Structures are given as structure tokens and as C-alpha cells.
Structure 1
Amino acid sequence: MSVNKDFLSCVCACCIPAFVIPASFNVHADEVSHTDKGATATAASADTAAEFDTDLLRQEGKNQIDVSRFAYGANVMPGKYRIDILVNENLVSHEEVTFKETEKNRATPCLTPEIVKLINLNVEKVPFAVRKALTEPEACTDLAHLLPDATVKFDADKQQLNIAVPQIYLQRTARGNVDPSLWDSGVPALMLGYYMNGYESHYSNAETSRTFYSSLNAGLNIGKWYFRHNGSYNWDQTTGGSYQSTNTYVQGDTEFVRGHLYLGQYFTSGQMFNSVSYTGAQLATDDRMLPASQRGYAPEIRGIAKTNAKVTVRQSGNILYQTTVSPGAFLIDDLGPTGYGGDLDVTIEEADGSTQQYTLPYSSLAQSLRPGAQEFTATAGKLRDYSTSEKPLFFETTYMRGITNILTAYAGTQYSKNYLAVLIGAAVGTPVGAISADVTQSKSRLGGDEGDLAGQSYRVSYSKLINETNSNITIAAYRYSSSGYMDLQTATQTRDAIKHGDDPNTVWRSKNQFSVSLNQGLPASLGNVYVSASMQDYWNNGTSYNTQYQIGYSNSYKWLNYSINASRNKAGNGQDQTTWYLTLSMPLWPGHAGSTPYVSMRYNEDSDGGRGEQANISGSFGGDNQYNYNVSGSHDNYSGSSGSVSGSWEGSKATVNGSYSTGKGYSSSSVGMTGGIVAHSGGVTFSPYNSDNYALIEAKGAEGAKVSGYAGATVDSSGYALSPSLVPYQQNRVAINPEGSDLGVEFEKTAQEIVPRAGSVVKVEFKTHTGTPLLITSSWKGEPLPFGADIFDDENTHIGAVSQGGVIYVKVSKEKGTLTVKWGEDEQSHCQVAYQLKPNVAAGKDRNTIQRFTSVCQ
């Protein structure tokens, strides 16, 4: 049903201050009253009618509309509507709901047993009348009357039925839980994401270099199975071009383990063993399928309340969670992930005003899981390594489980004909930080003179946020491998080298690996200091090692951001080099968000005597900031001065970028393009964004309308657009901005909620109505048409209501037709007005211009 929003705006804002048509009706609401200029309007409960002073409606003569149908706030006509159903503000389904007219001219939703079951009621706690209603197939359950404090509201603007039920009557579910029945597999589609870049450079010796690179991500979606292929094409003027396939596989969801099945060329997770590419099969859990509050690590919080108490959980002063609990023991096990550290402060505020407070030490690592949570992978396949001729069949399994708040245990194994590795470890949360430790035993059969090698690898990781000193050790890790230890890929490469008579020492075996990242906040807004370092060396190559150190300080003053840092690593000549940097950045002027040009300056100096300066200006412009630019100039004491300019444009079908740079003895230029293409039953749709998940928006007749949140993405001439970057298994709001579309287009709604599966293309239909606006001054038997009378088109569709003075404002799609005006049920309470568009409008010109004329209602 289309609602003429222009008319309603006029009615509500201009014409009738005492006559209110609510945006939603409330089946069970508290009673309020409002008085304006002597008129009374009482928006009441389900059994109390609102009263209107019809004198203020300025209705003349005998033709007056019966306002009794607005007495209970109903703003929807009886009929069937496909709408979203929300329970306590959480989307639970998208169903067809019947609205029935009651004895008091109210249209109320019929809550069938199927709809009530979506609420997930705790049958043991609801009244007997509700349980009985669930057994009557044709019943319309009056939930607001049968269940204390329950409410049912329909929001016509959002097309949502909002059901609120006290928590005591619901089955306990984790916050953010989305029923798997809502996971949308999407529509059949052929997908292609691409990135292309061409580069050309010229040198002082008249040499020219030209290269071209393109990466492709192709997919085919059929039902719940998603076929994927990833690859790249490289070309240069010397060696020509070649295409390399990265992987090709099919992916399907497995709800029974909350994970995915991968068949084909894929890779292992790398969480316990080094990640390897394979051809085979893998079954792996995916915590994105869990409720948002169950993902990642967070501890269980237990306590005892003396009364109906409010429990608040804070971290670093920020409120993470707040709920009300009944007297007695309580458990909070749906606290969302809170990063790697920061102790949790728990406050219990009793009804009598007393409080309890305690602190729960909290630090976590990637291996940490909440109590009872588990993750596992099972992989079987042939190793894919382009550097070896041997492709051994191997098996890998990993398993992790949260035992308690402070303990997570994990184990894994890798096996092939000539290799075996077993890993066991644990992550422990302590008051001084989170620590994980594991040991891996490997045995490699290499052949030749090397025979068999066996060894161990020991790994320790640590993480801690110290609130008192504002110190954050993001992660510190150290790994030591004995001389006989090899991972699967190293063992395979070594075996292959021996088989072909090559020196096995050309395959390096890791000895020590170390990394640390520390952030230290200084008091009194004095800024922040950070330190990071990494190191790696090898058993069979003592002269080669990798080291890198960084230390820096950053702060800001008003608009100015500044930082000083130093780094030490190996230069191109193999010698250690230390470099110092000073960086300043600020907007050229305040405000205007992303459109404000940003300027940054940098000075650097290194231990070899090199010095350089650089200045850079970047920003964006356009209605949606779809144009981006960057201009920079630099100078150093080795190569002199240089400059560059680059920019990009996010168009409706692709994102295009280009750059040009020049310096002493050289110049270079590049041009690139990226985007996505989806072929579906309605045609082919382009996007300036590359994504593995799309919402396919269908809005017929709305060419030019914008996809909210994505610059450049608009509805094409076929009525389709793509909204990228959806979050799988969560509610995603897909919205469309009518700006840019034809003024004659009306949207029934401009936003919808969807829950896509990973890799899906979900179709989202936005129903539109197109037409030419008519403004007709009409009368019935010499008197103005009754104010508020309903207007129907030739197909008996309700398209508006009569405004003040008997004026009709509607939009029509036909060249000519008849409008029916009704203000009652008897034959004397309706009439018809004929219309015909002007010839130029009927020919498709000036369709947005309001057609004004006077006609008698017959």
C-alpha cells in the first residue's frame, strides 16, 4: 500500500494541529492527554478512544468524514503486508502478516501461532491462555492482553511490527543472536571482482619500462554453494604475460558445526601450525555464525544480588554491559569481546541503594576462548607448493576449547607419509597478564644422507593492559626451534632438494623468532610512546638474520598532530641502518569533515648521512566525497627534488585512479581501475567496490538513487545497484537515498534489514511507485469533498486522502483514469473524479510537473 507522504506532511504540519494521525499505533499503551485551543485529543489505551473536535477540521455542509476510524490510532488499512518482525528490538523474521479490522474500526495485526513461536517464549512461564492460543491454528493471539506488560506496535514508515515482551517470559538467548533460519543464501549470481593497474616509467638513459597487473576474484553462487576462483595476470614488455591461479574452491555452510566446508584449493588457518596451501577438503568452525556477544573471548561474570539489582560492567571507565537481575545468583556469559586486555570492574547496585563492587582480572590472546566455546578444523589434501615437485598428501586437525574463565586448552596434529607433528598448549589468564605456551614435536623423514630428523619448537606469548600505568603490551611472542625441528613446508622443500641432488641447507630452518609491541600512555596529555621489535635467525645460515626495531613518540596540540620515531633495520646493502623521522600533520582549516584538505610534512635522516624532506596535501571533494586527490613534493641529498600527483574517482560502475611522478632523471605514470560485476536474473550490475558479499538492490524506476554509505554507488537504468561489505550472519541495514532519482518516484520504504551468509548475494527489493502529481480541486453536490476522505485508483488501491478545502493531491501512473473518493460505506458516501494528463505529459515530458485542474466529483 502506498502512502502519499506529501499529503500527510501537509495535514500534520499545516492544516490540523488538533487532528493527529500517529506514525504508529499502540495496541497497549499508557494513557496521555493533549489539549489545543479547546479541542481535546486523548491518545489512549486499547480500550479508550481518542476524541477529536471536528469543528477544527473546518468541514462544511453535510459531507463530513467519519473520524471514528482514527480514534484508536490505527494508520493501516486492513489487508496482508510482508513486514519485518522484531522482538525486543531484535529482528526475528520477515513474514506476511494479516491486519484485520475490529469492531472499533481498528486494523490490528493477527498474531498467528507461527508468528508467536518466533518470539521464543518460555512456555513454562507464560500464562495458560497463551499456551492454549498456540494450539489453535487459526487463532489471532491478543498477546498484549494475555501477557502482562507486553506491547505490539506497528511502524508503518519502517514496515516493522515491534513486539516487546518482558524477559521473564522468554527463553534465554545470547545478546545479538540471529536465528539461523534468517540467514539468507541469496540469489543465483555470477560475480567478478577485479583490480587492474598499468605502469610506465622512463629513465635518463632513454629506457622505458611498461608493466600491467590484474587480480581477479570470480564466483558463482547456486543455492547454498559458492564457487570461487582467485588469480592474477602479470605482463611486462620484456617477458610477456602469464596468468597464475591462486586457488579455486567451493564453499558451503555447515550449520550443525557452525562452520564451513571447503572443497578444492584452499589454505589452512595458520593458528597453530604455519599456514599452507592445499588441494583437498576442509571443515572449519566460524565464530561469525555465533551471536555477536559470543564471539571472541570474554570471561563469565558471576555474582549474587540481594534484591532486584542493576549490574554494570566497566573497562577503563567505559560501560561495556548493563542489565537487571533478580535476587539470588546470576551469571553473565554474553559479554561481547573487549580486546586483548583491561580489567573488568563489576558494580551491583541493589534496590535499597547499597552497592557491591569487585574487579575481574582480564587479559586475552588469540588462543583464548570463553568457557564452553570451542573451535576446530579438519583438513585433508595435497600440499600446493610451486617450489617443489613433491605434493604429499597430508592431514591436519586442530581443536581449542575454553575450560574456565582463565584456562583455554588446545592441541593439533599434522601427518603425511614422511612427516609428523603434534602440538599441545594452553592459554592462561592471570592477574599479571595472559600467557599462552605450547610445544610442538616433529619428525621428518628426509631421505639421502640426512635420514630422519626430530626436534621441538617452543612458543610463549604474553599480553597485558595495565590500567594504572596506561601500559598496553599488545602481544609479545618468542619461539625457539631445535636444530631438528621442521614445519611441514620446510620438510617438504628439504626433501625435494635432497631428491634432486641440491644442497639441503639452501632451505633455511628457523631457530629463534621474537616480536613485541608496547604502547605507553603518558600522564597529563603528554602523548604516547610506542616500541616494537622483531627478530628471526636460522640454524643453517648464521650470517643471515632479520631484525627490525622501532621506537616513537606521538601527541597533538589543537589541530596539529606530531610524531617523532626511529627505526633500525637492514638496508639494501645488508648493513644495519638507523633512520629518524619527524612528522607533522594538520587540516588546512577546521570543519567540513573529510572534504577539508589535510597537509603533512616529514623530515628524515639516517645513519649513512642521508637527509630528506617531504610535503603532502590530500583531501576529497564532491557531494559524496567521491573525488580524492594527493599532491606531494620531496627532496633528499642523494636524488634531488621530485614531485607526484595522484587522484581517484568513485564512479557508479568502477573506481578509477591515476598518478604521475617526476624526479631527477626519471618520470612515471600509472592508471588503474577496480570494481565488481554481478550477473543475475535481472541483468548485469556494476559496482565501484570489490566485495565477496553484496546486497543486490532492486528499485525499479529509481535510476540515480544513491546507495547510502557508499560514494558513487547508484541505481542503474535497469533499476539495480550493489551495496558491498556486508557482515555475514549479522543484521545489516541496507538503505537507499532517493536523492538523484526522478521526483515522480515514491519509495514504500528506504531501508531494510538483511542477514547474509558469507559469500552470498542477497536481493533486497525496494518497492517504488512512479507517477505524475495531480492537484485537483473538486466538489460533491456543490460542497467541498469531505476532508480526510480516502482516495482509491482504478485498481482499488488506496493512494491518498482529501486535504483541506476538498483538494486532491495524488500521483498517477496512467495517462487517464478515474479516482474514487470514499468517506463512508453507503452509496451516498462516495463519488468519482475522472482525469486525463496533458498531451506533453502523456508523451513522457514534464512528468514531474504538477498537473492542476478543477473537476466535479460525480
Structure 2
Amino acid sequence: MKRIIITPALSLITTGIYASVGYASEFNTAFLQGTSEVPSILREGVRYPAGHYYADVSLNGNKTGRVPLAVSLEDEKNNQLCLSPEWLQNAGIFFKPEIYQDTFDKGRGCYMPGRKPGTEVNFSLTSQTLEFVIPQAWLADKNDATRWDYGINGLRLAYSGNFNKNIQTRHAGYSNDTLNSYGTVNAGLNLGRWVLSADMNASRNAWGNTFSTNNLMLSTAISQIRGDLQIGRSQTRTELFQDFGFYGVALRSNSNMRPWSARGYAPVVTGVASTTSRITITQGGYTVYSRVVPPGPYRLDDITPVSNGNLVVSVEDNSGKKTVSEYPVATLPSLLRPGEFNYNLAVGKRSDSSDVKDAFRSDSGVFTLGSLDYGLASTTLNTAMLLHSRYQAAGMGITQPLGKWGAFSASVNASKAAYDHEDTRSGVSASFKYAKNFTSRTDLQLLTYRYQSPGYTEFSSWHPGERFSRPGYRFDGEDQYYRYSSFSGREKARYEARLSHSFDAVSLSTSYWQQSYWNRTRSAAGASLSASTMVGNGISVFLSSNYARNAWGGRDDISGSVSMSIPFSIGGVNHYNTASVSSSRNGATSFNNSTSATVNDRFNYSVSAGSDSHQNYSAGASASYAFDRIQTNMAVSRSRDTSTLSGSVSGSAIATAETGLILTKESSDTVAVVRLKDIPGVTFNGSLPTNSKGNTVLYLTGYNPTSISINPENVPDTTELLNTSFDVVPTDRAIIYREFAFQNVKRYILRLRDSTGEILTGGSAVTEQGLTAGYISNNGVLLMNLLAAPEHITITRENGKKCEFSGTPLKENTGKVQEIRCE
């Protein structure tokens, strides 16, 4: 038997023949030349005729896509489709592999799901559809590993940078005319299931230039253990120990692989900027955030999720004056469902420097770290252990839900650290955390207490070369004695609480923290209180106050601010006018007013002005514009003593074999490159329009099921889409590629007249290939949508009479009615 190739045109012909044959047991083959055997598509009882098709696929009544379908002679003979895992994925058919393992043909590498009782695979030649009926319990979850898409090979460089240049207009006690700049690059090289990634940043200021890297690793996702294998420089992740950077190998769970989980924690940093200022936030010596803010109150709620360990916030104004504050961070471990677990195994050398040149200079020796958090029936257990030739630590904790009384966690750590000068420290650390929703309006977000004995040492802060003085002991080269003070200034106890409450029209939140130290009578403390409300027609009011005390002396600082935002419209564009007053004990009272607007999806701007009680003034303006290839922002401000110019850019460059080089403003870790070949101006899921090659880039979230759908509004009328959406579950840092298939349709609008000039009424049109081209309406109009230009068209009228006309002079896709005489 000859293999039959079903093209779009031929499929219509064979479909018509197949329909007319019906279920005849015998078929006259006299009209077939070169064969006396009935083709399989015309024989009774053949469920899957061999050939190539373009089938609409559906699962339990829901369409999943339109894909090519190749039916082999063996499929036809067995009366079963054998479908590869790749084909099933492209078609959107995801079932649990273990359920259908007995239908898998190892020799051919494909599943025959129709063999499974309770499963139906129905192919309709007449409608070119393939329908799957699979029990719901046998289907994979939306983010099941069988749905994961590791993307295509490619290189991605996501970047962002900002600068500010201060020009002193007169002497103000400080001078900072240097160009300050900061830039970060997130690079990823995707090869199959592996990703080589690096996070790097560089800065330039009056004190010099720096370059550092936080992560430099090769990683891959392992679905069987719901975790990632990482090789290179990364950070530890445990609930009980402070995290630190290291070079080595790690195997750790990834909670994002679960259906739904928290994606990380970071505090909200608030304050008041006296002038245009740069705010830099570091943790563990690495910069996690940098931004230039205008004068007035600021609220930073977009900080990259952080781990355990204090945040150091540095605020530098345009005169070069810098203030530094510290935010203790202690996160409450999430409860795990019964049977769920988080783990972390790591072997390597601690890295105390983020400079690339210091990558292999660490002399701290090799450590081994292991941690496991496991969910029991009603309790989560936390365990961790760190082993080193001169340092050992272990910890254990529990997290317990208390029903209506909230939830708490408690843990105890012990450490033993040896030092070069025959000194050994041992100690314990204990912590207690509590959280509760008292009512639907009152939430105690976190209540924390932590105690550390004098000898307790975290591995992240252990330095074996450190010296400690003792009474009567003389250091080499020194002429005086020191009293015993080795524990002075070390952390002793910390308290922290955050409380929020919502009234009918007012939201209130407050926080307090206090840190005490060994051998010091003064403790550090901080408190904040904020309230917000909406009044009138969209007018919002925000009040905040802050208190800060330093353990090493100095005057306690108290600050506060109040701001009001009023919406209004100009030329159909929504604007917001924000006025604020702020004051602090250690500074002046300042007044600021700004107006901002988002003109469209690409452009927004703002203007501002302000003054303070020291007769300083400021004025400024900023504008942001999103180009297809880059996101930009520029700002200029002027005060009594300084003029400041600042700006920022962000975006990414993506290079793949399928798409070539693409520059885009999207700078996320996980992206989708979507293509509608050579058709510009089309959007997907609210993306920017496709470029001249038909490419655009979408932001995605790792392991989050997403449907990539086309917006048909800007698709040309002559384009017939073969698919309109794709469901994807991308892995972290994947470059997903999807091409939307289409056919260019030739559209004709004709008004037909007979040989006498009378308008034809009713009848059907057929091309020279025997394809039905359309039907004539009562006003003589014939609409034809064809894949190829017709050479000859025959009209059969309702009375059986026929007439013909040539298709050669017809003009396609004009959108106008063409007068045709049919003779």
C-alpha cells in the first residue's frame, strides 16, 4: 500500500469522498489509476489511516492545540496511535506517566494511550480532529514535572544601571562632584537542562571602583527530588544558621516546584531623603539593592527577597553626606504539610569576598552542611548540622500550629569554634518566634526573641585568625596589658515585633525591635508607626513616624512625615499630585510637592519642588520611556547648593539559534520568546508588539503554569491562525520558545452577473481543484477564502445551470467588491 500524504487541499477532497462513501463494505476502484487496492482512508474499520495530518487536538472536550500528526503504517495496522512524549507535550496532553507505563513501547519510544481501559483516542478524518478522553485522576497537575519546559539553548544577559552626577554650585561643607554609577548584570547560558548563571555588579564613586559577583554557578533542576543541583559560587539556605557564600557543590530543594508556596521575604524600608539621594542596601557584604530617590519620604517595597541576616541601609545625599542604619531580619519558617520536606546539602569552602579575583584564595578549609525540614502530621521539624575540622555546629527546631492561637517556632543551636591562638569558644543560641491573626483585621505578623551566649559563633562570622586578650597576657610587640574583653560588643538578645490592623477606612501598622550586646549597658532599638487611608474621590493620605537608637552612642533620632495624593485628569490622562511634610530631630523640616502621570504603557513623568526650614530649596523633573529594546529614565534636580543629573537603563539581550539576537526591555530571569513570523505589531499577554521579524519577549515565572495567548486584534485579516495559545510551565531561568503557526489566506469579494448582466442569486462556487470556494448570497456577492489563487471557477446555480469565469484577473485582499461576469 502506498503511504498517503494529506495536504490541506487534498484533505478536503479526500474528506468529501470519505463522507460520500459512508460505511460501504465494497468500493469500486475503477476510477483509481495505478492501483486496484482501496486506499486505507476509504476502507471500513480503519481508525487511523496512515498519512500526515494537521489535527486539532482536544482533551476532555477542551481544545489544547493544533499540531502535525504523523500516522505510521504500523499505527494503522495496530489500530493504535503511538505518540512520543515530545508530541504529547507539544499537543498539550499531560498524563501521569506511571499510570500509562504499561502502554509505553520501549522499542519505538512512544505511548499508546488508547490501550489503557478508560482512555479514548478518537481521530476524525472528516473534521481533522484528534480527541483524547482521559480520567481526571490520571491527568498530571498543572505544574507537574511532566509539564516542565526547560526551554531552548541560548544566552541571556539582563542588565540594569543607574548614575548620578552632582555639581556643587557653592561650598556647602561637603564636596561630591564625582560621577557615581552602579550597574548589575545577570547572565545565563542555557544548554539543554543546564544553566550557567552569574550575578555581577560594579560601582564607581569618589572612594574608588568595585566589581563583585554574588553567584557564579552551573545548575539544573531535578524533578524527582524537587530540587536543584548547583556547582560553583552560591549561598547556603537554612532555617537555623545564618547564610553565607561559598564555592562548592550544593543539592537543595526548591519550594517553587510545589504547586503554591511563598517566594521569599524582604522587609519594607522607609525613611525621609533630605535631597536627591542614593540608597544602597547590602546583606552579608553584597549589594542587593541600589536606587536614586528624590527629596521627601521614600518607601522601598521592591527589594530582592533576602535571607536571614541584617540588612545595612546606606543613604547618601547629593552633598556626599552618608547615614547608615541596620535592619535586623528574622523570618518565620513556613509550616510544611504532612510529608513535605525541604533539604540542603552543601560541600565547599566559605567565600568571604565577592571579588572574582578572590574566588580560590579562601583558607577557611572545607565544610560540610546538611539541613532537613520535614512536615509531620501537625508539626514541622527543623534540623541542621555543619562540620569543619575546626568548627562544628548543630541545631534543632520545631514549628507548631496552635489553631486559633496562631503558630510558633522554637529552635536551639550549639557551636564550637577553634582559633589559631589556642582559644576555643563554645556557646548556644535559642530563638522563639510567634505569629497570629487575632481578628480578620488585626495581624501580629511576627514576634521574635533570640538569645546568644557569649561563646556562640556563627560559621559566617568565624575567623580563626582572630585574637582575644586576657588579663595579664601580653601580645607580641605590645607594651601594655589588656583586660579580658573578648565577648564585649557581641550580640546578646534581640526582640522584634510587627503588628498591623485595618479599620473601616484606615490601615495601621507598627513595628519595634531591640538588640542588646554583651558588656554594654546601652542597646540598639528602632520603632515605626504608619497609617494610610482613602478619603473623598480617590484621595489617599499616608502618615509615618520612625524612632532609632544606636548602641554605640549618639542622639536618638525621631522622624515623621505626612503625605496626601490627589488624583486629577488633564487631556484624558490621569495625574496624581502628592504633597508631603517631613521632619526629624537631627534634621530640618521639609516640604515637598510632586505631580506624576502615566501617559501610556511606555511613557510616564513627574515634576517636583520642595523647601525646608533651613531655607534650602529643590526642584526637579524625571521621565521614563519604555522602548522596545530598553527601559530608560532620566531625572534632573536643583537645590540651593547642588545640581544633580541622574538616570537609569534596564533591559536584556537574548541570543538563540531559533531567533537570532533580540534586544528587549524585559529583564526577568525566565522569559518566553514568541514568534509570529514576519508579522509585526501583534501582542501576546500584554507584551510589547512583535518586531519586524515577528518576535517579542514575555516575562514568565519559574514553575508557574502560564497560558501564552495571542491578541487577535492586530492580526492581519489575511492571516489564518492555526493555534491561538500555548500552555507552558517553565523551569527557572528557562528561555521558552513558541512559534504561532498561520496560513496566508487569499480573500476575494465578488459580485457575480450572468451573460446578460443580471445579478446571480444563489448557487455554489468550485475551483478547478474541486474545492468548494463559497456560496452566492441573494445580492450576488461571493466571498472566497482560499490558500492559493484560483485559475478557474465554476458556478452551479440552484436550477442546475452552470457558468464559469477565469480567476486570473482577480485581485486578492483588496477589501473591495470586484464585478465579475460569469458566462
Normalized against structure 2, the TM-score is what? 0.70
Asked if 1 retains the 8 angstrom alpha-carbon contact of 2:238 and 2:371, the reply is no
1:599 equivalenced with 2:615 (yes/no): no
Asked if 2 retains the 8 angstrom alpha-carbon contact of 1:382 and 1:393, the reply is yes
CA distance 1:639–1:691, change in 2 (3 Å): farther
1:568 is matched with which residue?
Answer: 547
Cα deviation for residue 697 of structure 1 reads 0.6
CA distance 1:220–1:639, change in 2 (3 Å): farther
Cα deviation for residue 544 of structure 1 reads 7.5
Counterpart selection for 2:730 from 756, 768, 775: 756
CA distance 1:384–1:141, change in 2 (3 Å): closer
Aligned partner of residue 224 in structure 2, secondary structure: helix
Cα deviation for residue 420 of structure 1 reads 0.8
Aligned partners of 1:526 and 1:179: how far apart in 2?
Answer: 42
Asked if 2 retains the 8 angstrom alpha-carbon contact of 1:193 and 1:216, the reply is yes
CA distance 1:491–1:809, change in 2 (3 Å): same
CA distance 1:608–1:234, change in 2 (3 Å): closer
Aligned partner of residue 708 in structure 1, secondary structure: coil
CA distance 1:761–1:778, change in 2 (3 Å): farther
Aligned partners of 2:547 and 2:7: how far apart in 1?
Answer: 67
Aligned partners of 2:80 and 2:594: how far apart in 1?
Answer: 62
Deviations 1:320-372 (A, max 9, x none): xxxxxxxxxxxxxxxxxxxxxxxxxxxxxxxxxxxxxxxxxxxx952310111
- Please show how residues 111-122 of structure 1 align to structure 2 within 5 Å: 112=81
Cα deviation for residue 232 of structure 1 reads 1.7
Counterpart selection for 1:684 from 630, 646, 661: 661
Cα deviation for residue 223 of structure 1 reads 0.6
1:435 is matched with which residue?
Answer: 408
Aligned partners of 2:774 and 2:553: how far apart in 1?
Answer: 82
Asked if 2 retains the 8 angstrom alpha-carbon contact of 1:778 and 1:807, the reply is yes
Give the alignment's Cα RMSD to 1 decimal: 4.8
Aligned partners of 2:259 and 2:680: how far apart in 1?
Answer: 37
1:267 equivalenced with 2:239 (yes/no): no
Cα deviation for residue 416 of structure 1 reads 1.6
1:255 equivalenced with 2:223 (yes/no): yes
Cα deviation for residue 177 of structure 1 reads 3.9
CA distance 1:121–1:764, change in 2 (3 Å): closer
CA distance 1:646–1:497, change in 2 (3 Å): farther
Asked if 2 retains the 8 angstrom alpha-carbon contact of 1:399 and 1:410, the reply is yes
1:491 equivalenced with 2:462 (yes/no): yes
Aligned partners of 1:445 and 1:386: how far apart in 2?
Answer: 22
Counterpart selection for 1:718 from 693, 703, 721: 693
Cα deviation for residue 581 of structure 1 reads 1.9
1:533 is matched with which residue?
Answer: 512
CA distance 1:152–1:736, change in 2 (3 Å): same
Asked if 2 retains the 8 angstrom alpha-carbon contact of 1:702 and 1:738, the reply is no
Aligned partners of 2:379 and 2:56: how far apart in 1?
Answer: 45
CA distance 1:803–1:374, change in 2 (3 Å): farther
Q: Partner amino acid for 2:492?
A: K
Aligned partners of 2:94 and 2:221: how far apart in 1?
Answer: 23
Aligned partners of 1:597 and 1:2: how far apart in 2?
Answer: 56
Aligned partner of residue 644 in structure 1, secondary structure: strand
Asked if 1 retains the 8 angstrom alpha-carbon contact of 2:442 and 2:499, the reply is yes
2:346 is matched with which residue?
Answer: 379
Q: Partner amino acid for 1:430?
A: L
Aligned partners of 1:268 and 1:513: how far apart in 2?
Answer: 23
1:586 equivalenced with 2:566 (yes/no): yes
Aligned partners of 1:398 and 1:629: how far apart in 2?
Answer: 49
Deviations 1:582-634 (A, max 9, x none): 22223225998xx5212222222333573222222222012xx2111122222
Cα deviation for residue 87 of structure 1 reads 4.7
Asked if 1 retains the 8 angstrom alpha-carbon contact of 2:420 and 2:464, the reply is no
Which 10-residue stretch deviates more, 651-660 or 740-749?
740-749
Normalized against structure 1, the TM-score is what? 0.67
Cα deviation for residue 189 of structure 1 reads 0.7
Counterpart selection for 2:609 from 621, 624, 633: 633
Aligned partners of 2:774 and 2:680: how far apart in 1?
Answer: 28
Cα deviation for residue 671 of structure 1 reads 2.2
Counterpart selection for 1:731 from 705, 708, 730: 705
Asked if 1 retains the 8 angstrom alpha-carbon contact of 2:592 and 2:611, the reply is yes
Deviations 1:403-451 (A, max 9, x none): 11x31111011122221110101011113110100000001111215x1
1:343 is matched with which residue?
Answer: none
Cα deviation for residue 857 of structure 1 reads 7.0
Aligned partners of 1:94 and 1:373: how far apart in 2?
Answer: 38
1:226 equivalenced with 2:206 (yes/no): no
Q: Partner amino acid for 1:671?
A: G
1:287 is matched with which residue?
Answer: 255
Counterpart selection for 2:417 from 416, 419, 444: 444
The alignment of Structure 1 onto Structure 2 pairs a total of residues equal to 662
Aligned partners of 2:752 and 2:113: how far apart in 1?
Answer: 41
Aligned partners of 1:151 and 1:652: how far apart in 2?
Answer: 44
Asked if 1 retains the 8 angstrom alpha-carbon contact of 2:427 and 2:453, the reply is yes
1:33 is matched with which residue?
Answer: none
1:367 is matched with which residue?
Answer: 334
Q: Partner amino acid for 1:382?
A: K
Asked if 1 retains the 8 angstrom alpha-carbon contact of 2:53 and 2:69, the reply is yes
Counterpart selection for 2:179 from 210, 213, 216: 210
Aligned partners of 1:689 and 1:412: how far apart in 2?
Answer: 39
Aligned partners of 1:466 and 1:90: how far apart in 2?
Answer: 46
Aligned partners of 1:569 and 1:287: how far apart in 2?
Answer: 36
CA distance 1:98–1:659, change in 2 (3 Å): same
Aligned partners of 2:122 and 2:477: how far apart in 1?
Answer: 78
CA distance 1:800–1:221, change in 2 (3 Å): farther
Q: Partner amino acid for 2:574?
A: T
Q: Partner amino acid for 1:645?
A: A
Cα deviation for residue 506 of structure 1 reads 11
Asked if 2 retains the 8 angstrom alpha-carbon contact of 1:772 and 1:850, the reply is no
Cα deviation for residue 120 of structure 1 reads 5.6
CA distance 1:445–1:729, change in 2 (3 Å): same
Cα deviation for residue 246 of structure 1 reads 2.8
Aligned partners of 1:222 and 1:519: how far apart in 2?
Answer: 47
1:747 equivalenced with 2:718 (yes/no): no
1:518 is matched with which residue?
Answer: 499
Which 10-residue stretch deviates more, 599-608 or 430-439?
599-608
1:195 is matched with which residue?
Answer: 160
Q: Partner amino acid for 1:718?
A: K
Asked if 1 retains the 8 angstrom alpha-carbon contact of 2:448 and 2:496, the reply is yes
Cα deviation for residue 2 of structure 1 reads 13
CA distance 1:818–1:188, change in 2 (3 Å): farther
1:422 is matched with which residue?
Answer: 394
Aligned partners of 1:658 and 1:556: how far apart in 2?
Answer: 31
Asked if 1 retains the 8 angstrom alpha-carbon contact of 2:143 and 2:704, the reply is yes
Asked if 1 retains the 8 angstrom alpha-carbon contact of 2:773 and 2:786, the reply is no
Q: Partner amino acid for 1:272?
A: L
1:471 equivalenced with 2:442 (yes/no): yes
CA distance 1:171–1:614, change in 2 (3 Å): same
Aligned partner of residue 652 in structure 2, secondary structure: strand
Counterpart selection for 1:671 from 647, 655, 662: 647
Q: Partner amino acid for 2:685?
A: S
Asked if 2 retains the 8 angstrom alpha-carbon contact of 1:486 and 1:509, the reply is no
CA distance 1:239–1:566, change in 2 (3 Å): closer
Asked if 2 retains the 8 angstrom alpha-carbon contact of 1:89 and 1:162, the reply is no
Q: Partner amino acid for 1:759?
A: R
Structure 2 residue runs of 5 or longer lacking an equivalent are: 1-5, 9-50, 72-78, 104-109, 265-330, 355-360, 470-474
2:274 is matched with which residue?
Answer: none
1:413 equivalenced with 2:392 (yes/no): no
CA distance 1:819–1:462, change in 2 (3 Å): farther
1:182 is matched with which residue?
Answer: 147
Q: Partner amino acid for 1:577?
A: D
2:591 is matched with which residue?
Answer: 613
Aligned partner of residue 181 in structure 1, secondary structure: helix
Aligned partner of residue 256 in structure 2, secondary structure: helix
Asked if 2 retains the 8 angstrom alpha-carbon contact of 1:702 and 1:745, the reply is no
Q: Partner amino acid for 2:387?
A: Y
